[in-house]
Amino acid sequence: MKQRRFWVVTLLAVVMGIAAMAPALAAQDSADATREETFRVAIGRQLSDPTNLNLYAGASRSDTGLHQVVYEYLFYNNLQTGEFTPWLAESYEYNDDYSQLTVHLRDGVTWSDGEAFTSEDIVFTYDLLRANPAMEWANEANNAVASVEAPDPLTAVYTLTAPSPRFHLNREAFSAVQIWGGLTILPKHIWEAEADPLAFKNSNPVGTGPYVLDSASQNGLVYVRNDNYWGATVLGHTPAPKKVEFVYLGDEQTVALALASNELDIATIGILSAGTFQQIAGDNPAITAWTNELPYAWADPCPRALMVQNANPQLENPLVRHAISSLIDRDAIVALAYEGTTIPAQGVWPSYDALTPYMDAVADLYEANPVNYDPDRAAALFEEAGVDPGDITLRYTVNTDSVEDVKVSQVVADQLIAGGLNVEVQQMGSAAREPMLLAGDYDLSFQAFCPGYLTENLELFHSKFYVPLGENAPWYERNSFRYNNEEFSAIVDQMLATPPDDQEALIPLFHDAMSIWLPDLPVIPLVQAPALVPFNGTYWQGWPTASDAWNMPVSWWANFNLILNGYPSTESGEWVGGVTPVGS
């Protein structure tokens, strides 16, 4: 009853906002695309400069919709089905020593302005990144790729800087979508005219995707379907929505009410809490999520962990790090910070079924080195380390721009203080916090660990990323916590040199790596990453769910293109998925 009264009060408080919002939303629907023909996505923030659509110079990929509906990629990885779906390309193969990768492009692909998409566009993009190392992802691409050649319009040959059987999984150096996005190929005939690619705003982007930009403002972007889209001819398929909108509507309650009133089709990750979702789903049966009961959320492939500054003398002893881990009640974090929408994590990789053989192989290591709440074990470990927890003072940096970070910090800090530690919570905005993390100027900090694959996530702890305190680490989860173990790194190197489908070789190597990583515990796993994504089925059907897991429910990933479009099965060739109008 209290929840009902709260919701009624909230509804009355924001109804004027919805009333003001409705004309703007209605105005976006035109004679060419009615509400029934429009797929509308709520984004989490306004765009500071909607004229800048250069994703190599600061433009958001996700909030703008650029890598979802404008640009496309050579391949898309489907974590749910395990399919590596050819798209702009048809196939690839390595040479014998994995020093070259040859990609065969799909014939008939065109840019939205009608120009042919060819291997010359691929060569141009890598040459551009090499000539302009300040462009985003340029360092990753340049470090992995020595050169790209185009022996013919439909063939691209990548010469790598070092043999790598996993190069095709490197999203920051290859145009395949693994987790979230991938390196984006640019149209040579557009970009070659720009003297300064970092100053080029690309306000009217040309891509191979099924949609072209109609309008842009701080409150979002509107795209209309390109009826000359190459997929209609080559694949025999065009996405059903005539219009796709990425709109910023305001706070959680405003977004919730827009969903409840059927003005939205989906809200991106992180906007709605479990309580709000439960309320609107209870009132509107068309609103669903990945599951129909807790946790509701799909497991995003970026588990959350507590980064621990290994270079801090108070934290350099693994026994102390394990003791701190044993003071953390992850079930309480799930209940209090996430309202039950996730599960505890025991590592920095997602809990997908495909990883079960690997997890089974290290069960003995977890039995000897548990990652769970056990205050008695914590006390014993502190005693073994010769450390009084009351003598430890830790600075816990918290990003106030992240509601998730703030909620988790409240639970974790209280637990550590209850365990006898002195914890100083240092709250700051992301702009102030980010350089501190790279410099290692923290003791504890909450962090998502991507890219989501076992080998690549272990690589984040590689000694090659180690730098002394005060120098900038390559990235936050790329060893800003200053872990340095050469024996572990050598095993990771062996894993990186092993083809990703060779489980027989990889599982023993994983066990060897974890026999070092787990006793050392350089960071403290907390929870899996919840992706609570509410979907409104009033106008559209076919959105992936746990009961029909044909894809991931990710409107902010580049894979959203295949959710709208569907794709040909790599096994049968039959068309899989794609949202369609309700009743079709």
Mean pLDDT of 468-490: 94
Of 180, 162, 173, which is closest to residue 136 (Cα–Cα)? Answer: 173
- b/e per residue 560-569 (b: at least 16 CB within 10 A): bbbbbbbbbe
> Residue 25 pLDDT > 80, yes or no?
no
Specify the CATH superfamily of domain 75-191: Dipeptide-binding Protein; Domain 1 (3.90.76.10)
- Chain segment 335-378, per-residue pLDDT in tens: 999 999 999 999 998 877 778 899 999 999 999 999 999 999 99
Hey, how many other C-beta atoms are within 10 angstroms of the C-beta on 193? 8
Domain ranges of the chain: 2-46+229-296+532-581, 75-191, 299-531
Report strand pairing: 287-288 vs 540-541.
unpaired
Fold classification of 2-46+229-296+532-581 is D-Maltodextrin-Binding Protein; domain 2 (3.40.190)
Domain pair 2-46+229-296+532-581 / 75-191, same fold? no
Listing DSSP states for 31-99 in one string gives TTB-GGGEEEEE-SS--S-TT---TTTT--STTTTIIIII---SEEE-TTT--EEESSEEEEEE-TTSS
Q: How confident is the model at residue 10 (pLDDT cuts 50, 70, 90)?
A: very low
Q: Which residue has the higher pLDDT, 178 or 213?
A: 213
User: pTM for this one?
Assistant: 0.83
In tens, the pLDDT along 503-513 reads 999 999 999 99
What is residue 106's DSSP assignment? P
Amino acid at 424: E
228 versus 403: the higher-pLDDT residue is: 228
CATH number of this structure's domain 299-531, picked from the four choices 3.40.50.2300, 3.10.105.10, 3.30.1950.10, 3.40.1190.20: 3.10.105.10
Lowest-confidence segment of 5-19, 277-291, 489-503 by average pLDDT: 5-19
Mean pLDDT, the chain, rounded, equals 92
Read off the pLDDT of residues 153-197 as tens digits, 9 standing for 90 and up: 999 999 999 999 999 999 999 999 988 999 999 999 999 999 999
Residues 447-467 pLDDT 10s: 999 866 789 899 999 999 999
pLDDT of 57 above 80: yes
What single-letter amino acid sits at 244?
A: V
Question: Is 24's pLDDT higher than 60?
Answer: no
- 130, pLDDT greater than 50: yes
Amino acid identity, position 379: A
Distance CA 80, CA 562 (A): 13
Strands of 324-411 (E only): list them.
393-399
The CA distance from 381 to 384, in Å, is: 5
Query: What pLDDT does 452 receive?
Result: 65
Q: What is the mean pLDDT of residues 425-441?
A: 93
Which amino acid does the sequence have at 123? Answer: V
Polymer length in residues for the chain: 584
**CB 183 within 8 Å of CB 172:** yes
pLDDT: is 159 or 571 the higher one? 159
**38 beta partners:** 243
Q: Is the pLDDT of residue 519 over 90?
A: yes
